[in-house]
């Protein structure tokens, strides 16, 4: 019976070791599982925070882009309004009576010519109007109303040129008025 006792004792010890090993491995598995669950929870939270941050950044970027697009449209509309105003002014100038145009020619010539200048006036305005002294005047088919030829330069006068000068003088001030409301917002 000694062998049977030895076998039973070995079997019993083996069973005890087996139980201890299983318990130990179960405990280690639970520890590892808890550790990985904790790590997974941490990663999940980080991903959620990162995702929320990215969503907020995308949202802010989209709002900024939309805001820029709106301002661009507003500027475009204001530009159209300015262009329409200058076009309307040009239309009114072109619609002036012949008598008023002759007055404008006379006044402009008085203020712009010097003795020795040559003046080309559009043939369609070949009317009697006071002509400056010591100035050579010719009527010809030219674009615009008149051209003053000086020794070193030329001055062209047309309503388009007048509007262009008006734009240069007034556009900055008008823009400041129109766009100052944008800066105040």
| C-beta separation of 82 from 174 below 8 A | yes
Q: What is the pLDDT of residue 3?
A: 77
Overall size of the chain counted in residues: 185
Between CA 168 and CA 143 the distance in angstroms is 21
What the block records as the tokens of 96 is 């002036």
Q: What is the pLDDT of residue 114?
A: 82
Q: What is the pLDDT of residue 69?
A: 94
Q: Which residue has the higher pLDDT, 62 or 153?
A: 62
Average pLDDT of 115-139? 78
| C-beta separation of 146 from 126 below 8 A | no
φ/ψ (deg, to 5) at 118: -110, 135
Between CA 158 and CA 22 the distance in angstroms is 105
Q: What is the pLDDT of residue 129?
A: 66
Q: What is the pLDDT of residue 81?
A: 85
Instruction: Give the range with max mean pLDDT: 19-28, 133-142, 146-155, 171-180.
Output: 19-28
Has residue 118 got a pLDDT over 80?
yes
Cα–Cα separations (whole angstroms), residue 36 to 21, 41, 42, 53, 96: 22, 8, 10, 25, 89
Q: 21-60, pLDDT tens digit by residue? A: 889 988 998 999 899 899 989 998 998 888 889 999 999 9
Q: Is 118 buried (19+), middle (13-18) or exposed (0-12) by CB count in 10 A?
A: middle
Q: What is the pLDDT of residue 10?
A: 83
Q: Which residue has the higher pLDDT, 106 or 41?
A: 41
| C-beta separation of 126 from 139 below 8 A | yes
Has residue 185 got a pLDDT over 80?
no
Q: What is the mean pLDDT of the chain?
A: 84
Q: What is the pLDDT of residue 110?
A: 81
| C-beta separation of 149 from 117 below 8 A | yes
């Amino acid at each position: 019976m000694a062998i049977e006792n030895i076998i039973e004792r070995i079997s019993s010890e083996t069973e005890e070791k087996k139980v201890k090993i299983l318990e130990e491995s179960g405990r280690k598995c639970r520890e590892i599982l808890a550790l990985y669950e904790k790590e997974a929870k941490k990663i999940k939270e980080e991903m959620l925070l990162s995702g929320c941050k990215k969503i907020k950044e995308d949202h802010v970027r989209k709002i900024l882009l939309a805001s820029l697009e709106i301002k661009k449209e507003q500027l475009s509309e204001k530009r159209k309004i300015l262009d329409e105003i200058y076009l309307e002014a040009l239309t009114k100038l072109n619609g002036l009576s012949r008598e008023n145009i002759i007055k404008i020619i006379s006044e402009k010539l008085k203020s712009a010519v010097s003795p020795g200048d040559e003046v080309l006036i559009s043939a369609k305005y070949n009317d009697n109007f006071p002509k400056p002294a010591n100035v050579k005047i010719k009527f010809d088919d030219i674009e615009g109303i008149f051209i003053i030829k000086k020794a070193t330069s030329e001055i062209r006068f047309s309503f388009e040129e007048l509007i262009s000068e008006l734009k240069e003088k007034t556009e900055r001030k008008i823009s400041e008025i129109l766009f100052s409301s944008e800066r105040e917002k």
